[in-house]
Amino acid sequence: MNIVLLYALTGCAIFTVGLYALFTRRHLLRKVLAANVAGSGLFLVFIAIAYGTPGERPDPVPHAMVLTGIVVAVSATALALVLAVRFRAVTGRTSFGEEEEAKRDEEPGASSVKAPDDKDGEGT
Amino acid sequence: MISALSLFDLVLIILLLWLAWHLLSARDLFRATVLFITYGLLMSLAWVRLKAPDVALAEAAIGAGITGALVLVALGRFGEAESDEAEPGSLWLRGLVASAALGLFALLGWAVWSLPTEMAGLKAQVFERMGESGVENPVTGVLLNFRAWDTLLEMAVLFLAVLGAWSLGEAEEPSMPAPGESLLALVRLLIPLIVLVSGYLLWLGETAPGGAFQGGAVLASGFVLLLLAGVRPIPSLMGWPLRAALGSGFALFLVVAVAVTGGSRMLLEYPPGWEKGLILLIEGVLTLAIAVTLGVLFAGGRPPASPGAGKRGEKR
């Protein structure tokens, strides 16, 4: 196994972990972090493949695309965070789940009834 | 280009995977954010290792630095108790998502595995025409000349993010203790250095790793530092000068794009001989626009309407 493949596969793994967390984590800030982690996994695949091109220097085109991607990701993150803070200020909740927050306050163990709420979370 | 696996690579990869997992499953959100910043810094080590120094600079400044600061300040605005959370969701649902994710990983892994080992990419075309680009750093050449279209639209995205953030309300004061003497002393020491480094990165971008994005991000960190230190902006700058600075990057880029059009030249096709000057002009304005945009996004909303109360704005 060579370096390029190893880093590219790591990128795939990080992307998958980020995606999994995006769907399963409930707290909005956690979702924002998860989306960022998933994005960085994708960047790693790009840069690994750019490194693998034959010749002395790597391919600059994926580098430019990842640079653009990093800036777009930070603006999307900033907007998502402003939206999340606003959502929190208006509704007093930290996630999209409807009732589970009140429920959790009463009985922390009641997690099996939360399944329908997760659907809302996935839509983001 | 294919070298043998080293211990360094293995340690770095294991650390990256470990951090990615732990930052996403940490119960305490503050801990998760700190791990995220660590993860970003290690990721920029990986970019250096893969010979992408431009990306490494941007990742360290934007991916780890600015994003981390944004999440931390949002965490402060969210308030205390709810930052910790047990892993939610029913077990079967998590199992379902996990197996779907594993399936996706298998597919992606297979796709990466079956890529041809020697891919030329667009490297040959880029290096062949570097002489026409007006700059010596190929990444800057791609960003500001060959694929300037991407960068133009990227500025539009930054501008839209500010419009979105401003339409949601006014910036609010994050709950922070009053700055101590040491922080103020640090600010006085760091701000001139930050301005210098930012200008240096901008100038360096022509020939070496650096450029508008890295310079802009470093300058933005100066704005963030000033906001954290509670430095009040000059109220008279919070009106149209701030708005002009925010729009300047996209506006100037667009004007140049259209102005060079004509005859047989297409949009963004710089006339021969003008490339370097035009790229430097665009990058200079872009640096300021990116810095102000990131600073405004950190403030989290439009400046308060009442004059004099504009604590959360941007200028020194």
Considering only CB atoms, B165 lies closest to which of A58, A72, A79, namely A79
Contact yes or no for B141 and A60 at CB 8 A: yes
pLDDT band, residue A79 (cuts 50/70/90): very high
Hey, what are B112's tokens? 């990466």
The predicted pLDDT at position B309 comes to 43
Considering only CB atoms, A29 lies closest to which of B52, B74, B92, namely B74
User: In the predicted model, what is the mean pLDDT of chain A?
Assistant: 81
The predicted pLDDT at position B169 comes to 82
User: Does position A106 have pLDDT exceeding 50, yes or no?
Assistant: no
Q: Would you tell me how many other CB atoms lie within 10 Å of the CB of residue B162? A: 22
CATH number at residue A110: 1.10.287.3510
The predicted pLDDT at position B53 comes to 93
The predicted pLDDT at position B293 comes to 94
List per-block mean pLDDT (blocks of 10 residues) for chain B, which spans 316 residues.
Answer: 71 95 90 94 94 93 91 83 57 89 95 82 84 86 88 93 90 71 89 94 88 92 88 80 91 90 82 86 93 91 63 44
The predicted pLDDT at position B313 comes to 44
Q: How far apart are the first and last CA of chain B?
A: 47
In whole angstroms, how far apart are CA A12 and each of A5, A16, A41, A42, B62? Answer: 10, 6, 6, 7, 22
Tell whether A124 lies on the interface with B, counting CB pairs under 8 A.
no
Distance of CA A122 to the CA centre of its chain: 12
pLDDT mean over A44-59: 88
Q: Please give the residue of chain A at the shortest CA–CA distance from B102.
A: A16
pLDDT band, residue A108 (cuts 50/70/90): very low
User: Does position A121 have pLDDT exceeding 60, yes or no?
Assistant: no
Judged by DSSP in three states, B169 sits in coil
Output B181-186 pairs: Cβ under 8 A, ≥24 positions apart. B183/B228, B183/B229, B184/B229
Can you give the residue range of the structural domain that contains A63?
Answer: 3-122
pLDDT band, residue A1 (cuts 50/70/90): low
The total number of structural domains that make up chain A: 1
**Rounded distance, CA B227 to CA B238, Å?**
14
**Rounded distance, CA A38 to CA A57, Å?**
27
Residue B245 half-sphere exposure toward CB, CA atoms < 13 A: 20
Among B7, B17, B97, the residue to mutate for chain A (most A Cβ within 10 A)? B97
pLDDT band, residue A20 (cuts 50/70/90): very high
Q: Which residues contact B1 (CB under 8 A, 6 or more apart)?
A: A4, A51, A52, A53, A54, A55, A58
In whole angstroms, how far apart are CA B291 and each of A63, A79, B155, B219, B267? Answer: 21, 16, 12, 5, 26
**Rounded distance, CA B36 to CA B17, Å?**
12
**What is the interface pTM, i.e. ipTM, of the complex?**
0.88
What are the chain A neighbours of B292 within 8 Å (beta carbons)? none
**Rounded distance, CA B266 to CA B257, Å?**
9
Burial of B156 (0-12, 13-18, 19+ CB in 10 A): middle
